[in-house]
Amino acid sequence: MPLTTQATPTTYWLEHAWLGTHVEPGVTVDVADGRITAVRTGADTQPPGATALRGLTLPGLANAHSHAFHRALRGTVQVGTGTFWTWREIMYSVADRLTPETYYALARAVYAEMALAGITCVGEFHYLHHAPGGTRYDDPNAMGEALVSAAEDAGIRITLLDTAYLSAGFGAAPNAHQLRFSDGTAERWAERADALKERAHARIGAAIHSVRAVPAGQLGTVADWARERQAPLHVHLSEQTAENDACRDAHGCTPTRLLADHGALGRRTTAVHATHLTTEDIELLGDSRTGVCMCPTTERDLADGIGPAARLQGRGSPLSLGSDSHAVIDLLEEARAMELDERLRTRTRGHWTAAALLRAATADGHAALGWDDAGALETGALADLTTIALDSVRTAGPLPRLAAETAVFAASAADVRHTIVGGRQIVRDGVHTLVPDVPTALAESIAAVRG
């Protein structure tokens, strides 16, 4: 059943609502044609005919960085030891087995898991374009279309970040696994990406996989494609020190400087990870207002390191959050981890308020994905809402006025009670309304691609 907005005007009564600066008790939200038409405070009791959302209601959460097929790696990659590079070999083995049909089934289950976690929009960093060996499907965008359909059928929004991935590293030809990823040149990538069409639930953006995967002379082609369409542009940046070293060897500069020199930074660009940066890198990103998507649960799972998120935001880079490889799918944990990792690194507390962390998980995440009209409980915004229980074993006890702090620092995805997208309830009382048995859908779709 595809995603549709709520056609009939609806009123929701929010027991407690996060209004961006504070928790407000007793708020009614009117919805029509998928948007919020009115927000009223002072409703101490549920009005007749209104649908009650008990707990703390936030704007819908935005998962700004996802690789849906990595969900099949959960548990498998936790065996033994290794590095990012050994993890990557296991990842390739799953990528090799995906077809448009199995990719759709897996992504639909993963996006349903996201809806259960309160995520209303996902940024899918998509580079698995072609058949094994690099042969194009009859529809060259069959894999991307599978993801767009999967998001619709799971009831959430998607920004498909179609990714240029042309090289095994600084001019090296793609390896056998990477032939599925490559269009050969940035020009051919752009021709294929041009055929992707936006829909009510789907927007199209671009991505540079990394400076090692797109030759320097072709970075501008991808950046120009995004700029001409005023579309989001995302890029993996300095996730590993090996990338920085190889970039200096090839170009005599850092990856951030290389992107800057080829016009790839700016307000519509989001750098993902940005873990190993120089002071100049932070200045280049912040001064250009390039956003940064932090993915703490993946960065710690892969032993990448802790990025300079506080310094980046202080210099001017908006922060967003992503679950990336889906070691877990829990945007509340991503928000919490960003603060707690910084505490471990600096041995001081309180780098971000709960309000700032919620903004990264909502408004700034949606903006990074090109949905500037989402991420706030205000008139005119998309009616995307997430309600977190305040009576679970994790959240019971604190005063309601501290519900934002409770959500960020104690709650988990398991505490999400309701998820509403375009005014339509996708998760009701912890149950997905479109995918009735999400665990079985995950288990079956993962088994279909397991070696």
What positions carry a catalytic annotation? Answer: 273, 324
User: Which residue, 254, 255, 215, 208, is CA-closest to 233?
Assistant: 208
Q: Which residues contact 289 (CB under 8 A, 6 or more apart)?
A: 266, 267, 316, 317, 318
Q: How far apart are CA 339 and CA 408, in angstroms?
A: 10
CA atoms within 13 A on the CB side of 270: 31
Residue 385 near residue 29, CB atoms below 8 Å? yes
The residue type of 91 is M
Q: Which helix (H) or strand (E) holds 14?
A: strand 10-18
Give buried/exposed letters for 185-200 (b at 16+ CB in 10 A, else e): ebeebbebbeebeeee
The conformation of residue 97, written as its DSSP 8-state character, comes to T
Closest Cα partner for 318 from 266, 280, 279?
266
272 touches 325 (CB < 8 A): no
CA atoms within 13 A on the CB side of 273: 26
Contacts of 292 (CB under 8 A, 6+ apart): 270, 271, 272, 274, 285, 307, 309, 312, 313, 317, 318, 319, 320
Stated as kind and residue range, the H or E segment containing 418 is: strand 416-421
Environment class of residue 45 by beta-carbon count within 10 Å: exposed (0-12), middle (13-18) or buried (19+)? exposed
Bridge pairing between strands 61-66 and 385-388: unpaired
- Which class for 359: exposed (0-12), middle (13-18), buried (19 or more C-beta within 10 A)? buried
Give the helix/strand (H/E) hosting 163.
strand 157-164
- Residue 24 Cα distances to 42, 44, 400, angstroms: 9, 11, 9
